[in-house]
Chains A and B, each alone.
Chain A
Amino acid sequence: MTAVPDVPGPPGPDDEPLLAVTDLRTYFKTDDGVVKAVDGVSFQVKPGQTLGVVGESGSGKSVTMMSILGLNPKPGRIAVAPGSHPGAQMEAFLHGSKKHTSISTGQARFRGENLLEASKRRLRALRGSELSMIFQDPMTSLNPVLSIGKQLVEAVVLHRDVTVREARELAIEGLQEVGIPRPERRIDDYPHQFSGGMRQRVMIAMALINEPALLIADEPTTALDVTTQAQILGLIRRLQAERGTAVVLITHDLGVVAETVDDIVVMYAARVAEHAPVFSLFERPLHPYTWGLLGSLPRLDVELERLSQIRGQPPSLLRPPAGCRFRPRCAFAFDRCRAELPEATPAAFDPEHLDACLLDESRKLEESARLVAELGLDAEAAA
């Protein structure tokens, strides 16, 4: 590495979140009705830390991130009178013109600045420089008709006042850093000349080339084979450690995040089920859905049948069930679950550990302890 990057960080104290998302709601208008893809999600990312976001596909993980970056199609930015009640904008969207097909409300404060209210220009300036994103499928995420060099150079010159030649130097450095052999030769190659893993390295190089404060990695390894998966995760971990970049790692695989992240958000049906530091979550998972996820983890070390599979299907986001959204699939559901939509609330034993389950905390701890013992997660976590 030729340059030690500055650790990006806010001027304030270290524990102030880099990104704080509060009550984020993203709705899409479709021909069938309104899809509430994200419906009241809150979480934080601390500078230099890694947040894992876990959930089944369709749980709203990716949409949450796209909303934060302003990348949803046809986002609505509906003006309402100042001082209107918080839902006014959403209401205007739902009953308003067909021009906008999506809207995001709530807050997504990046270094204190609400991205949901930022101008398009401001968002563009942030995207790719302060906030970068890499995607699930490296095979399709690079433009097939442009050489990777051109795509990397484009990423640089969009945000920095440098010559193309300088940008190209930076690009070669970036490729070097992500482990592309002989980058000065490969830089003029086209995406189809690289393997999947190599392409994801290129994507990472591109995302990090402007040294962002936050990298959002949306299932970066899903499309890759197992060996490559490990390499890419290792690469992200290494770069994050070297640069102090905060990372949001989206995955549907709890196993992937366990070793990589500091905090975990578990999402279910457009909402947060549980949000906790990684150790806390593995030691004392508090949400029945998390239990289900842990129970269905494939384990390489134990010849053991899966203990539990979450029964049923995730609910439709067009017409979510009343009350707790996990209720129809939950073995522990009781009357209140039908009536109330639970909010994520801090646990008594640890204010950092939030969960959105209406069960008594003692009951949750009891169940969680049994599960952890059954799965041997305590031993694993300790190891």
Chain B
Amino acid sequence: MLNYIIRRILWACVLFVGVTLITYVLFFLLPADPARLAAGKSATAEDVARVSRQLGLDRPVHEQYALFLKRLVVDHSLGRSYANRRSVNEMVGEAIPVTTALVLGGAVLWMLIALPVGILSALRPRSLIDRGAMIFILIGISAPVVWIGLLLQYFVGFKWGLTPNAGYCDVIDPPAGASCGGPGDWAYHMILPWVTFAILFAASYARMIRANVMDTLGEDYVRTARAKGAPESIVIRRHVLRNALLPVVTMLGLDIGVALGGAIFTEAIFNLPGLGRLALNSVLNLDLPTMQGVVVFATLAIIVLNLVVDLVYAMIDPRIRLA
């Protein structure tokens, strides 16, 4: 077990260096010059050279990357943004809770939708519930997140005024001058983002759960359970769902890990100051340190969630033995 974890962590380090290095190299392949952007429009060539020196952009890529790694490992610092010179640690730190709230809330919502829909439609194939679910799944999977988000925003948030159409409120400790704050305001503002974010996942999870449950219903051990005289409720709960939902747990962990890297569309539409928006802005501004900060967090999130999924899986599925 310990061995396994050590192996995983080593692999994680390799992955981490790989991903950040690729970001770095890609950034330097871009023909645009961040120093020029940072120096401003009326900057002379000397101004640009000065800014370039200040930002360390005049050094070779490998030196800059080494410096980045050293700063990260030794000082735990992601550096400062090229765009506004703010500490990237601080910016990423502020964005994490927002994205986490969006993703975890969304995950709860999508599971609340996907579990009953997937299970019921699998248990009653071709029924009204199943057909309704299929339509929902089709829409949820094929409709772009942006479109759903804008639609909800326009109708629910604007036309009908049932929820705020955009914006974020802090749960605790809202900034001075903030127009809203506290758990109530926070949840009220998160309703549309959660729904938007959850629809695609709800649909694909409902589909996955339906398929898994249907497959599992055909398993021999389910027949065995029925042959034992187990009532249908026990058959479903103990024998079907326990097996059918195992892969769902894995997917859930992986999807949450990926989504934590930034739910770009949802955050952009609803103006949530999360990692997705941070990443988007940093790309538009060619702001490497911020971009790298988001990449570092996203990579960590994915690596950690992967590990968690593996460990949880080992706990719930006796067939997996971590030797």
Contact = CB atoms under 8 A, between A and B. Distances in A.
A147 B246 CA distance: 16
B172 to A, nearest CB: 41
Interface in B93-146: 126
A284 B229 CA distance: 40
B183 to A, nearest CB: 38
Contacts of B231: 124
B7 interface: no
B229 A125 contact: yes
Nearest to B319: A192
A291 to B, nearest CB: 34
A159 B220 contact: no
A203 interface: yes
Interface string B290-311: 0000000000000000000000
Given A124-B229, A127-B229, A71 B223 contact: yes
Interface residues of A, number: 29
Given A125-B229, A190-B319, A144 B224 contact: no
Contacts of A30: none
Contact of A147 (B229, B316, B318): B318
A167 to B, nearest CB: 13
Contacts, number: 77
Contacts of B227: 69, 71, 127-128, 132-133, 135
Given A124-B231, A145-B246, A158-B229, A190 B224 contact: no
A147 B317 CA distance: 11
Interface in B235-249: 238-239, 242-243, 246
A77 to B, nearest CB: 15
A44 B225 CA distance: 26
B30 to A, nearest CB: 50
How many chain B residues sit at the interface, stated as a range, is 20 to 34
B41 interface: no
B221 interface: yes
B224 A143 contact: yes
Contacts of A129: 229
Contacts of A71: 223, 226-227
Nearest to A136: B220
A206 interface: yes
A6 to B, nearest CB: 19
Given A71-B223, A137-B220, A145-B243, A128 B228 contact: yes
Contacts of A203: 224
Kindly list the 8 A-B residue pairs having the minimum CB-CB distance in the complex, ordered from nearest.
A128-B229, A127-B229, A128-B228, A190-B318, A140-B220, A143-B221, A141-B220, A133-B227
Interface of A: 69, 71, 98, 124-129, 132-133, 135, 137, 140-147, 154-155, 158-159, 190, 192, 203, 206
9 contacts: A124-B229, A128-B228, A140-B220, A141-B220, A144-B243, A145-B246, A145-B319, A154-B228, A159-B229
